[in-house]
Each structure stands twice: as structure tokens, then as C-alpha cells.
Structure 1
Amino acid sequence: MTLPADAVTALATFQAAAGWEQRARLLMQWGDRLPPMRDADKTEANRVHGCESQMWLVGALHDGHWQFNAASDARLIRGLVALLLARVNGLSSAELQQVDLPGWFEQLGLSRQLSPSRSNGLNAVLQRIRELAAQ
């Protein structure tokens, strides 16, 4: 499966990082690049359950390709979700079903930093993405 351009960039950036400190800094920078979500979208219907921190997700289909946006009150989670969105934005509904979340964070060199609760939260986000795509 071909990676979206943002995912290719993320992969190159994180694989070039020397050690965890640099990756942590990159993670924060990616989180800061998430476009702000409108307050009108921060509704209970858009909330992702299963995350320890508050998290909202919206998605829209454009010409057969999905674009998602997310917001979180936790900076580290924002970074992780930004990397997840880099991996899924621009994919079709069928491609979204094929995304290997643990494999993606393994490639980025971040899997060791994913605590069980963070993993669960990211899985909840991916699950929500797949639900939106299946509607």
C-alpha cells in the first residue's frame, strides 16, 4: 500500500531522529501542526471514547478520499494523533481498513513509548475513523 505524502515525510523525519529526546520533540511539533478544530465540532457526538484525555475526531469524504481532523487537550496525544492522521488522511474507505497501527508506530520508532493506555486511545481513534468510513 502506498503511503500518503505526509506519512512518507513523518517516516523520514522520525527514522532520522537520534534517540528518544529528539523523537519526543518531533512528536510535540507534529501535534502543534494539527489544524485547530472549531469549537462547534467539539461535541459529544465527535468525542472519541476510550482515550484517557479528551479527544475529538471529525472526518469528511472528498472524491473518495478521507480527510480527518482531531483535537486533544493532551500535547503528547496530539502528536501521536497527528502522526496517525498523517498515515490515514487521503486514503479510501477500503485502504483505511488495512492500516496497521502497531506497525506504523513501530516504523516511526515510537512503539516502546506507547503505554497500554495510549495504545488503547490510539486504537479507539482508528476504530472511530473506520466507523466513520463505513457509514
Structure 2
Amino acid sequence: MTIKEKQDEIVSEFAFLEDWEQKYEYIIDLGKQLPPLSEEVKTDANLIKGCQSKVWIDSEFKDGKLFFVADSDGILPKGIVSLLVSIYSGHSTDEILKSDFDFISEIGLQEFLSPSRANGLMAMTKQIKFYAVAYQLKS
């Protein structure tokens, strides 16, 4: 499945949810499905700057694709980072760099979040793009 197809699927899933309480619960459920990171990965180098909660994203480049793992100490940020990992993990750096984050506004996520959480979301998306650039430069 392409990144765009995954994004479209998320937009469709959110369209079925009637209000923000249901959307909030959906995001929290996504976070509960995210496997916890080992303490060795929860380093300052993997910590996303600008998030209200602690959020860690790590990556691995394997067979031409970038794979992400993530965690957070907050239930909502954990769900949000889980959503991003599910969309972008397992794709090439080129695919990730050519993709956009328009689905975030399509599902209304930024409007739902407090300004500090919205800043954290943007920091997460920038980190994913940063990893893609870094691995693209290495290859």
C-alpha cells in the first residue's frame, strides 16, 4: 500500500467517526497498539523537541526502505505518533520525501489539538522527513 493510500484510508476511517470524542478514543486506541520502545532507544537523540509530552522516534534503513519505531509517555501523543509510524514506516526515502501531510488537515487533527500539541505534531512530521533526508544522503 502506498503512503497516499494509507493516508486516504485514515481519512476514510475518521470520516466514519461522528465527533471528536470518538476520534480522540480512536487515536488513543492506536497508541495502545504501539509496541513500547526499549529504554536503550529512549535517548535524547531520539527525543522529539517541541512536544509537550516526551515522544521518541527512531528509524532503521533496511532493503531500501525506512522503518520507524516510536513511543511516548502521553496517551494522545502516543496515538498520534503511532498513526504517523503506520503511514510512513516501510517506505523508501523518496516516497516519504515526496509525500505530504495534508491528511492531517483533512481529518481536522490540528484544529482539535492545543497549540502546543499541534507544534508537537509538526515536530514529529519534520523528524520523519529529516530521517528520510539523512538516509537518502547516506545512500
Asked if the contact 1:7/1:83 (under 8 Å) is kept, the reply is no
Q: Which residue of 2 aligns with 1:48?
A: 48
Per-residue CA deviation, residues 36-95 of structure 1 (Å, 9 max, x unaligned), is 101110111111111111111101112212111111111011111111222211221122
TM superposition shift of 1:99: 3.1
Task: Give the CA deviation at 1:129.
Answer: 1.7
1:108 aligns with 2:96: no
Q: Which runs of 5+ in 2 are unaligned?
A: 135-139
Distance 1:118 1:110 in 2: 10
Secondary structure of the residue that 1:123 maps to in structure 2?
helix
Gaps in structure 1 of 5+ consecutive residues: none
**d(CA) in 2 for partners of 1:30, 1:7:** 15
Could you say what the CA RMSD is over the residues aligned between the two structures, in angstroms? Answer: 2.1
Shift in Å at residue 98 of structure 1?
A: 2.8
TM-score, with normalisation over the residues of structure 1? 0.85
1:91 alignment counterpart? 91
CA contact (8 A) 1:4 1:90 kept: no
- Given that residues 3 and 99 in structure 2 are in contact (C-alpha distance below 8 angstroms), is that contact kept between their aligned partners in structure 1? no
CA separation in 2, counterparts of 1:109 and 1:118?
13
1:12 positional shift: 3.1
